[in-house]
Amino acid sequence: MHDLTRQDSALLLIDMQQKLLPTIHRHESVTRACEDLIAGLALLEVPVLLTEQYRRLLGPTVDCLRDRLPEVEPLPKMTFDCCGEPAIVDALERLGRRQLIVAGIETHVCVLQTACSLARMGYQVFLAADACGSRKPEDRALALQLMHAQGVTVATVEMLVFQLLGTAEGRAYRQFVKILKR
């Protein structure tokens, strides 16, 4: 895995919305992984961008995630690929970070298209696979393979956060371990 660093990374959380999430296979597990990812990155002060696809139809981001990100204003989109929305591309560029952790739904549509576009744009893309979901498991599985083939690093929430932590010393490590045990 490429060296993921706190200083150069950010999270792009894609479309974890109220009306879409219940249709996702194992959505409770995906949501829990997103919660753990957000909590772990907050300990390390890694910034987060949040997108919402066609909010009028799919509703807002689920409350359990919005509650963890009260200061983050969701970025609206209509394109499946986040990179098709100039406001999202501008927000990413303003962060000035070249390593992007990507999570959300649906893995085989918005997440796949976005991760591959980001990789083509020169970002190092890290997919938090357990924090991604699709309605059908086979769509998710194939999307993970396609992203890996396009140069996206496919990992888990724990793999990514522990790489960012780098050590078992310190408050952030102890707090993240507590998050995982809840």
- Name the token pair of 125: 């893309």
Distance CA 22, CA 25 (A): 8
User: Do the beta carbons of residue 105 and residue 30 sit within 8 Å?
Assistant: yes
For residue 1, what pLDDT band results from cuts at 50, 70 and 90? low
Q: What is the pLDDT of residues 138-175, one digit of tens each?
A: 999 999 999 999 999 999 999 999 999 988 998 998 99
Percent of the chain with pLDDT over 90: 91
Q: Decide if pLDDT at 100 tops 70.
A: yes
Distance CA 87, CA 110 (A): 16
Q: Domain limits of the chain? A: 9-181
Q: Decide if pLDDT at 2 tops 80.
A: no
> What is the pLDDT at residue 43?
93
Say which residue the tokens 């083939």 belong to.
149
Kind of pairing between the strands at 75-77 and 99-105: unpaired
Say which residue the tokens 């690093």 belong to.
153
Q: Residue range 66-89: average pLDDT?
A: 97
Distance CA 39, CA 131 (A): 13
> What is the pLDDT at residue 4?
94
> What is the pLDDT at residue 182?
78
Q: Residue range 127-141: average pLDDT?
A: 98
- Residue by residue, DSSP assigns 125-150 as EEEEEEEEE-SSHHHHHHHHHHHHHT
Say which residue the tokens 């990179």 belong to.
83
Q: Residue range 73-91: average pLDDT?
A: 97
DSSP H helices in 26-170 = 27-43, 55-58, 63-66, 86-95, 112-120, 137-149, 157-165
Q: Residue range 44-65: average pLDDT?
A: 96
> What is the pLDDT at residue 61?
97
Q: Which fold has domain 9-181?
A: Rossmann fold (3.40.50)
Q: Decide if pLDDT at 98 tops 60.
A: yes
